[in-house]
Amino acid sequence: MTEITSRTVFITGCSSGIGRAAALRFARLGHCVVATARKLEDLADLKYEMGVGARFATVQCDVASEESRAAAIAKARETFGPIHILVNNAGFGLFGPVEYLELDDARRQLEVNVLGPMRLVQLVVPDMREAGWGRIINVSSVAGRMVLPFGGWYSGSKFALEALSDALRLELMPFGIETISILPGPVKTKFVDNVEVPIRGREDAPEAYRRMGDAMRREREREAGRRFEISAEDVAGVIAEAARRTKPHPRYVVSGPAWISVVLRKILPDRVWDRLMVSHYGFDTIRD
């Protein structure tokens, strides 16, 4: 078996945030790193951050495109050989009332957050099985364990990713391949900039929906910059630890607020959780 620092890491969504931090972390640990993004120009300055002597490649990969996925994996193998660690990090958030979100938008949410990552798993598992060792790390979300208003499709994609991670963990265990799910809480990244809220500007939306949306945006603005927000580097550290441990945990919940949210959702009855949500966001005061 190859030494751990000789193993190749393929990471999606490296243009910023967790993906970029993970690429830098693995490179500094001596791994061969394939950093990918939907737009290759977003990775132009990454090689300078990785430092002299780092073994890395920047590759274009749109996780929603089969042609792009296959080409990126082929380029990675051509550059460094078999892939041993896959970090499925690319994703975006689609938020809004289920009633108003277009199904085409929902399909894209599932393609990027679920189907694309699982197709990459299918493409790299043969390398891992041949090596008798592998790590599949799916960057999920605390939203994969709890649902907020307007977050139905986003949470749906993360719940699906959690379920598939559990299935993969069992199916691939006989081959020495570990599947790990990472659930960050509030993270200081550009993720919010990539959140799509199609209901914005819709004059036909009920007043209650628009006021709910305003309440949730105000809450997010209040949360921004609070001490409990962790950095992308913190999450990258957890990803690297999980990839390198002999027996990694199946699931890492990153940050105190994430733990609290997951535990509360698990122990509270549905109706109690509902009352907690409407009270927290002020929905109980909204009337048409």
Provide the residue ranges of all domains of the chain, joining segments of one domain with +. Answer: 4-285
Structure tokens belonging to residue 207 = 């007043």
**CA 141 vs CA 145, 267, 269: distances in Å:** 8, 19, 21
Tell me which of 92-106, 137-151, 211-225 is least confident.
211-225
Residues 12-18, mean pLDDT to the nearest whole number:
95
The whole-model pTM stands at 0.89
d(CA 276, CA 287): 18
Tens of pLDDT, residue by residue over 223-260, are 655 555 688 999 999 999 999 999 999 999 998 888 88
CATH architecture of the domain with range 4-285: 3-Layer(aba) Sandwich (3.40)
d(CA 64, CA 111): 6
Single out the catalytic residue among 154, 209, 252, 281: 154
Decide if pLDDT at 205 tops 50.
yes
Q: Is 252 a catalytic residue?
A: no
* Residue ranges with strand state E in the chain: 8-11, 32-37, 56-60, 85-88, 134-139, 177-184, 187-188, 230-231, 251-254
